[in-house]
Structure 1
Amino acid sequence: MTKRASLLDDSARLMRDFMTYAVLFQDAVARAAGLTASDLQALGLLMNDGPASPGTLATRTGISAGGGITQLVDRLESAGFVRRERSVEDRRRVVVTPVLAEVERRIGPLYATIAAEWGAYLESLSDDDLQVCVQFMSAAVEINRRHVEDSP
């Protein structure tokens, strides 16, 4: 096996491991916050992408519009992590808005240890290495996002 083939094999295995442990960690954080994994993922999308209608959130998460997404938003609202608001552009529409202060207060501490460890690791990298990491993670996010959007 060539060095490149070995590196590609290692990369594939490590990506599988990374994704597996990222999902398992997110599940643990969700449980600790009294949420489901889907609730936490939807909350993350709202925090990163901004307020969204329940229909848009359903599309982004792959959860069926209607009952499924309504229950998810109900759980997040009951927990105090989001609020439903009327759209400024169209008062007939509802948008789901994250309550950032509450998310930071109650969920932020659940990430404190891992964030500190990742922060220390990233600080140890050179600017060039950090740039490669940013490019890699940007590509990984875009590829994953595209496949989520294209999934059946």
Structure 2
Amino acid sequence: MIRLEHVVKEEQKMLPVPVKKEITPAEVAVINRPMIFGKLGQIEVPDGAKEQLDSVANILSSYPDVNILIIGHTCDIGSQAANMKVGEARAKAAAAYLVSKGVAASRIETKSEGEAHPLVPNTSEENRRKNRRVTIVLQ
């Protein structure tokens, strides 16, 4: 005679075990790629950055436990205080865009590094343009 508790235990063994999906290196590369804001003082998300942020939002939708830090950067033109404000505004603009695409605000932290960590030396206008950016880091 088969006892009911043996049947239940056997059925529990056959239940699928959820597999935690790992974020791939290619997805990390998309998330970590700097988004150039380009224009001096620009805080609105540029069209080219919107395409990348769309990709980031799509990736994050597959990983609901992943949180991000968005960091705003500037070139060296302007005061340190003003650059900190511009960097923060850029980070918040990128965060707002991601929220508009369905990423929970609770998963996003923002900060500014102003001019403190240039991507390239601020020795030309082209380099300064590259330093006016937002970066995203997985947390």
Instruction: Identify whether the pair has TM-score above 0.5, normalized to the shorter chain.
Output: no
**Structure with higher helix content:** 1
Greater fraction of residues in strand: 2
Larger CA Rg, structure 1 vs 2: 2
The higher relative CO (CA closer than 8 Å, separation ≥ 6) is in 2
